Structures are given as C-alpha cells and as structure tokens.
C-alpha cells in the first residue's frame, strides 16, 4: 500500500497591489498633514499629491509599515525606511516597495 503525501500548500506571490495601496493610503495622510503644517499647497488629484514635494521624516514613514504588515503576515524592520525620510509619496513608494518585496522573499525562504 502506497502512502500519498498531502499536497504542498500553494505559495502565494508577493501582494504588491495590497502593499502599495496600504502604503500610498498611509503616506498620503502624512503628506497632507505635513503640507498643512508647512503651508504647502497640494494638488487636488491623487497622482499630483503623490508627486508633490512634501518632506516626510523617517519616523513618520516607519509608522506606516504597520499598515503593510497585515498583508505580509510578519513584522518589517525599521531599516527598510531610508534614514532622513522622503521628499514625496512617490519617492517613498519607489524606495519602499522593492525593499519590502525583498524582505517578503527572505521571510518566505525562512518558513518551515
């Protein structure tokens, strides 16, 4: 009698859309607050807001990682965020998403 092993669980791909949306939503809130405090007029459209030159400090951006972690299933290290912060939401997205994907890939390798 042969023993049949259960099928291996399907490995899911990196949830880039969920991660990006969560980051953008949180970063736009920070950018709006920073723009208001600094007296910077933000464009009304979302793409314009993302590209607008609004400085965001690294501590504020680190706080946004919590919104991403629920999509990943593990805690991200603060070192993913660039020291000194970012000059726009788009700059933060361009820097963070690839680094989060690398962290996700490394976490997948470590899983039993």
Spatial neighbors of 32 by CB under 8 A, at least 6 apart, are 42, 49
Domain membership of residue 10 (yes or no) is no
Segment 38-51, tens digit of pLDDT: 999 999 999 999 99
What is the total count of domains within the chain?
A: 1
Domain membership of residue 30 (yes or no) is yes
Predicted local distance difference test score (pLDDT) of residue 8:
47
Domain span at residue 24 reads 16-110
Q: Residue 52's pLDDT band (boundaries 50, 70, 90)?
A: very high
Dihedral angle computed from the Cα positions of residues 60, 17, 70 and 25, in that order, rounded to the nearest 10 degrees:
40
Segment 6-36, tens digit of pLDDT: 554 445 799 999 999 999 999 999 999 999 9
Cα distance between the two ends of the chain: 28
* Sign of the CA dihedral running 81, 86, 92, 94: negative
d(CA 54, CA 106): 32
pTM score, whole prediction: 0.85
Instruction: Classify residue 83 by its DSSP letter.
Output: T
Domain membership of residue 33 (yes or no) is yes
Does residue 102 register a pLDDT over 90? yes
Domain membership of residue 8 (yes or no) is no
Mean pLDDT score of the chain: 90
């Amino acid at each position: 009698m042969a023993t049949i092993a259960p099928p291996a669980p399907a490995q899911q791909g990196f949830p880039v859309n969920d991660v990006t949306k969560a980051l953008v939503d949180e970063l736009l809130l920070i950018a709006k607050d920073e723009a208001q405090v600094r007296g910077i007029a933000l464009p009304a459209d979302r793409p314009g807001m993302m590209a607008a030159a609004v400085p965001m400090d690294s501590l504020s951006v680190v706080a946004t990682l919590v919104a991403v972690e629920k999509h990943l299933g593990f805690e991200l290290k603060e070192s993913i965020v660039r020291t000194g912060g970012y000059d726009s939401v788009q700059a933060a997205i361009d820097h963070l998403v690839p680094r989060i994907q690398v962290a996700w890939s490394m976490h997948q390798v470590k899983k039993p």
